[in-house]
Structure 1
Amino acid sequence: MRKSVMLSTMLVVCSLLFSACSNVCIHQNNGITVTSSLTDKPVLVGDIPCTFPLTKEDTSLNILISGYDDLNPEDVYVWKQYEKMTGVKINWTPVASDERKEKIYNVLINQSDIDLIMRCKIKAGLLTQYGESGLILDLSKNDLLKNNAPNCYAYLQSHPDSLASVTNPDGSIYSIPQVNAGAQLRVSRKLFVNKEWLARVDMELPTTTEEFYQLLKAFKEQDANGNGDPDDEIPFCSQDFNSVQDTMFGAFGLANRGQHNQVVDYDETFHHVRLIASTPEYRSYLQYLKKLYSEKLLDNNIFNMTKEQWNNNAINDRIGVFAHTNLANLPADQMDNFVAIDEALSGPDGYKLWTAVRANFHSTGAAVIPASCDRPDLVLKWLDYFWTDEGTLFYHMGIENETFIVNQDGSYDYAPEIYEQMKQNDLSFDDVVATYSPYPGGGNPTVEIAPYFKGGEMAAVPANAAIKLFQYGPKEYWPSFTFTSEENERLSIIESDIQKYCENSRIDFITGKRSLSEWDAYIAQLDELGIAELLSIYQAAVDRYEGMKP
């Protein structure tokens, strides 16, 4: 669908019925019941009924979507059922993750016949650029979001950190986000330890960085996997270095405002923003990781790990500890071999934080409506269902007694047949679930929250650890900040240069290519790259956020 002129009037005003609504949506003449198990006490705040089908006419929408690996969205169970429920035919245009930036640009510039860009994780700076150029719709204009996606609107209004993450300084809103709520989903990274290795070296789970070092050392020196080869163990491994960093930062007092800002955090002494990579605490962190790397306790392939290498390490029982969100990246028969560290590690300077924790938010750019769409009202209604209790359950788990079951305690779980597919085909949790639900891979325009989400984070080991680690989280969480177009323009230059320099230097310091005795020269170079201006821009964003608080 396209429109030839910019949006001038909004269609179909939906009233906000906060008080007396059922949390089961109304389905007319489609014969589909998602579940009969929902209580009269909704978890989400809007609880405004959605009436299906959405239209009595033969209607279609064209959606550009970034899916899971190479899976065709037409083959995903939830999408097939949702077409029947809504009466809206979807014409999908899949795009690979490494091609989506260029594809989105071309779609918008050429005013292609696309009504919705979904799961493409468009960053805030690009959203502002596209929005101010008139290429995507401002959902705040003429109450477009409020009138047509009342459940999403209600949620954002009741969660200031979520609202701040999608609201620009001028009040515009260019996307619907993904929100992760609850400790199980807000704690983004955990440390998982091979319990069989732990038993072989006769040690307890560590509670300090020194104990963690001693555990890794034991794994390295005592043939922890018991195969007779004393040199094939990788004490600390992960699929990517950022996961390692996320789990280590808190022990050094870094990222003390949570997961969403990995460039700056807060100086508790001088009460202003600071560049994380320029602090004495960061230097201590680098020194610690350099020690792990030099003794081959940290995987020396950590900076260029491939999925094939990771899988090979996991299958051959070479991994002692790894950092990740959950256990879903392991083969199914390996998942029971790991336990989680559920207490924040105390660092050498007395910090005992777990800062790999999100605000009540996940990411921007989950759903964006091009300016060329001529039925934004219908697109938003199509999306709004996913911000209801029933809708987020359906999005993540499908339909009761077909793809999920209700346990005796009222909790939800995937049907036994889904777990059987994992075992029979030696596939990961995400690989199998992605054929039923669109959520694996992230960037979902919905709220991921217990009890309606049954991803890998909700398994007992990661979920219980997250609940305990959440207690060690920052005292305050910053949102994902938005900036003015002028600020974005400056950040696109100076922040990119600073991040690139910091990342390259981080590798050099940890691998020993560069000595930490060169720290002063490193700081001097950061000054030349413009950290003063960078910090002033972030301080302005923090001040705006403080002004938004109730």
Structure 2
Amino acid sequence: MRNKVLRTLLLIAMLTFVVAVVQAQDSTVTPAGELPIVTEPTTIHIMMVQTTGVEDYNNGNKYTEWLEEQTGINVEIEVVPNADAQAKLNVTLASGQLPDVLAGFNMDPGLIAQQGAEGQFLPLNDLIEEYGYWTKEAFYEMRPHLLSLITSPDGNIYQLPDINECFHCFMSQKMWIYQPWLDAVGMDVPTTTEEFYEVLKAFKEQDPNGNGIADEVPFSAQIWDTGWHQTVEEFIMQSFVYYDRVSPNRNQHFLYLDDDGQVQAAYAQPGYAEGLKYLNRLYAEGLIDPNAFTQDNSQIRTLANNAGVELLGATPGGWPGMFAQVEFVENGGRIDNWVSVPVLEGPDGFRQAAYAPWGITQGRWVVTSSAENPEAAFRLGDFMYSLDSTIRNVFGEEGVDWQWAEEGMLGIDGSPALYDNINQWGEGIQNQSWQQAAIQFRTSEFRLGQNAEGDYVEPLLYEASNENHLPYAPSIDRLIPPLVLSEEQGRELADIRLAVETYVEEMKVNFIVGNADVDAEWDNYLATLDSLGLPRLLEIFQEVYDEQAGMVSGGEIQQQGG
């Protein structure tokens, strides 16, 4: 009997060895860090969210061609317009007809955990251990504090995030004002909400574009979905309440910690009510464009780039390229006439910049259960974290769009430069790069390593953030880090968030345009929020925060600024 058991165990061991050998022989993927990635023709199908300014990801794109040459992988991309991204993701997940990779969708960690638990997203843990090279460098060596942020509650990693320690992105609820109009009316950049009101009033009444027609639009904005922090209230609310819409986890928007460490919702605070009353004042006096609540990004661009005279005086956005054509004054354009407004001091002396210094956007590279070669799909994402891939994804072709820095070149922070951006980023439609689509690994050192001389974009945004926002940002220990919800918590919160935030958006507009009176209807507003589940929403986030708050310590966050 004993010999029979031993023979059986020996047979199992031999079969296991044979299977392992066959699998190794059948593998089309080379060892970790080795290029090319595959040893025989391989195609990876990617469904990817489009970035504006890219002509064609599949045909003639220099970065796509370089990526295929380096890896040996044929990349086929199904492009999804940014405005349709969430709807397309929902339909795709519901259908079960998945591509090999979902890229650039900025997924909520709760959704990632849920889809992973249900088997639609593959766990990457074993793939990282066996095939990870640049992934290990990123998460094990350089930024180990990020590992816990991308790990789902079941212990699995179902995604690779975009890592972008973008200083100006950390504080991107900015306001821009047209300097020639300030010069025309003899006023300085405002520093308080009252000064901002007076500037807008001067723009309306004093014909700053000089055409003799009352056609100036003092202040305009756009809807959330197609812009980058361009809604009417985002910048202004920072003068009344801590108002966060920069958190990389969208389900944490509007949440903050009070002095007692309790999670609160900004839209239920007295300061928010005062901010609404201030915005109503601007609207009632004709200082806010009525289209600000309905127009999309194409419409705000049309307004800001009017042929002939300028029509727009002030507008919010992460950077001026979100509304103004990247054409410079010396070339007949206007973009460098837009200057940053500091976070305004409110009527009660309050001003606090929304601040999210986490440096990751989650769910940007997900290998699905439909992947025919998940090893190759993972390794492609792993390679995209490399410096060579990152710099080409963002800027394009070496020697044409960028070059390694020469001796004596200085970076944005005054340190020796790493590279020189030959062409201004975001200047027109191009087919050289992916312009930040999918994933990269951009550390603060990389971003500040760009040659500052002759560049408009990065030095402007660095200065605007460092001088006009960072002094008013809360300390890191007062921030809610990106939290990971369980599948059950995510499901419960989904309906509550939808109901609450839909109502908040509806009433925001009603309060600002005067369809509802803040003083008369505020108590009913709060009661409605309670009935829609706001107390439970706060309770869940408090529980998760109390469990996970220690995952990221302030000393590990890569801060910039001087």
Q: Which residue of 1 aligns with 2:210?
A: 226
Contact kept, 8 Å, 1:386 with 1:447, in 2: the verdict is no
Q: Which residue of 2 aligns with 1:402?
A: 400
Rg larger in structure = 2
For the pair 1:515 / 2:517, whether they are aligned, the reply is: yes
User: What is the CA–CA distance in structure 2 between the aligned matches of 1:362 and 1:226, rounded to whole Å?
Assistant: 45
Give 3-state SS (helix, strand or coil) of 1:282's partner.
Answer: helix
Q: Which residue of 1 aligns with 2:301?
A: 311
Q: Which residue of 2 aligns with 1:487?
A: 489
Contact kept, 8 Å, 1:258 with 1:474, in 2: the verdict is no
User: What is the CA–CA distance in structure 1 between the aligned matches of 2:193 and 2:131, rounded to whole Å?
Assistant: 51
Give 3-state SS (helix, strand or coil) of 2:334's partner.
Answer: helix
Q: Which moved more, 1:473-482 or 1:332-341?
A: 473-482
Letter in 2 for 1:497: A
Q: Which residue of 2 aligns with 1:15?
A: none
Question: CA-atom RMSD, angstroms?
Answer: 3.1
User: What is the CA–CA distance in structure 2 between the aligned matches of 1:312 and 1:98, rounded to whole Å?
Assistant: 18
Q: Which residue of 1 aligns with 2:534?
A: 531
Q: Which moved more, 1:155-164 or 1:519-528?
A: 155-164
- Residues 443 and 391 (structure 1), Cα distance of their counterparts in 2 relative to 1, 3 Å cut: closer
Per-residue deviation, 1:510: 0.6
Per-residue deviation, 1:209: 1.4
Q: Which residue of 1 aligns with 2:385?
A: 387
Contact kept, 8 Å, 2:167 with 2:357, in 1: the verdict is no
- Residues 511 and 478 (structure 1), Cα distance of their counterparts in 2 relative to 1, 3 Å cut: same
Deviation string, structure 1 residues 314-352 (Cα, Å, up to 9, x no partner): 1231111111111223122121221212x3321122222
Q: Which residue of 2 aligns with 1:262?
A: 253
- Residues 514 and 475 (structure 1), Cα distance of their counterparts in 2 relative to 1, 3 Å cut: same
User: What is the CA–CA distance in structure 1 between the aligned matches of 2:511 and 2:91, rounded to whole Å?
Assistant: 40
4+ runs of 1 displaced by more than 6 Å?
452-457
Q: Which residue of 1 aligns with 2:191?
A: 207
Letter in 2 for 1:336: D
Q: Which residue of 2 aligns with 1:546?
A: 549
Q: Which residue of 2 aligns with 1:478?
A: 480
Deviation string, structure 1 residues 128-181 (Cα, Å, up to 9, x no partner): 2211111111223x3x33443343344345547644542223323221112221
For the pair 1:336 / 2:336, whether they are aligned, the reply is: yes
Per-residue deviation, 1:415: 3.6
Per-residue deviation, 1:486: 1.3
Q: Which residue of 2 aligns with 1:89?
A: 74
For the pair 1:78 / 2:77, whether they are aligned, the reply is: no
- Residues 235 and 305 (structure 1), Cα distance of their counterparts in 2 relative to 1, 3 Å cut: same
Give 3-state SS (helix, strand or coil) of 1:405's partner.
Answer: strand
Per-residue deviation, 1:535: 0.7
Give 3-state SS (helix, strand or coil) of 1:235's partner.
Answer: strand
**Selected match of 1:439 from 411, 421, 435:** 435
Deviation string, structure 1 residues 440-478 (Cα, Å, up to 9, x no partner): 5x5535437504779999433223112222232221233
User: What is the CA–CA distance in structure 1 between the aligned matches of 2:88 and 2:239, rounded to whole Å?
Assistant: 41
For the pair 1:185 / 2:188, whether they are aligned, the reply is: no
Letter in 1 for 2:390: T
Per-residue deviation, 1:54: 1.7
Per-residue deviation, 1:288: 1.2
User: What is the CA–CA distance in structure 2 between the aligned matches of 1:281 and 1:149, rounded to whole Å?
Assistant: 48
For the pair 1:61 / 2:44, whether they are aligned, the reply is: yes
- Residues 367 and 430 (structure 1), Cα distance of their counterparts in 2 relative to 1, 3 Å cut: farther
Per-residue deviation, 1:97: 3.7
- Residues 129 and 109 (structure 1), Cα distance of their counterparts in 2 relative to 1, 3 Å cut: same
- Residues 486 and 308 (structure 1), Cα distance of their counterparts in 2 relative to 1, 3 Å cut: closer
User: What is the CA–CA distance in structure 1 between the aligned matches of 2:40 and 2:321, rounded to whole Å?
Assistant: 42
**Selected match of 1:327 from 299, 305, 320:** 320
Per-residue deviation, 1:71: 4.0
Deviation string, structure 1 residues 97-125 (Cα, Å, up to 9, x no partner): 45545654565566657321112333333
User: What is the CA–CA distance in structure 1 between the aligned matches of 2:90 and 2:167, rounded to whole Å?
Assistant: 36
Contact kept, 8 Å, 1:182 with 1:450, in 2: the verdict is yes
User: What is the CA–CA distance in structure 2 between the aligned matches of 1:436 and 1:170, rounded to whole Å?
Assistant: 40
Contact kept, 8 Å, 2:397 with 2:433, in 1: the verdict is no
Give 3-state SS (helix, strand or coil) of 2:388's partner.
Answer: helix
1:5-20 equivalences under 5 Å are: none
Per-residue deviation, 1:185: 3.4
| Percent identity (aligned) | 26
User: What is the CA–CA distance in structure 1 between the aligned matches of 2:438 and 2:356, rounded to whole Å?
Assistant: 15
Q: Which residue of 1 aligns with 2:269?
A: 279
Gaps of 5+ in 1: 1-7, 13-27, 29-47, 420-427
| Aligned residue pair count | 490
Q: Which residue of 2 aligns with 1:460?
A: 459
Q: Which moved more, 1:89-98 or 1:526-535?
A: 89-98
Q: Which moved more, 1:508-517 or 1:475-484?
A: 475-484
Letter in 2 for 1:542: Y
Contact kept, 8 Å, 1:169 with 1:482, in 2: the verdict is yes
Deviation string, structure 1 residues 468-524 (Cα, Å, up to 9, x no partner): 222322212333322111111111121111111111111111110000121011111
Letter in 2 for 1:81: W
Deviation string, structure 1 residues 185-226 (Cα, Å, up to 9, x no partner): 322232211110011111111111111111111111111112
* TM-score, with structure 1 as normaliser: 0.81
Letter in 1 for 2:439: N
For the pair 1:248 / 2:231, whether they are aligned, the reply is: no
Contact kept, 8 Å, 2:420 with 2:450, in 1: the verdict is no
Per-residue deviation, 1:369: 0.5
User: What is the CA–CA distance in structure 2 between the aligned matches of 1:457 and 1:108, rounded to whole Å?
Assistant: 41
Per-residue deviation, 1:297: 1.5
- Residues 537 and 511 (structure 1), Cα distance of their counterparts in 2 relative to 1, 3 Å cut: same
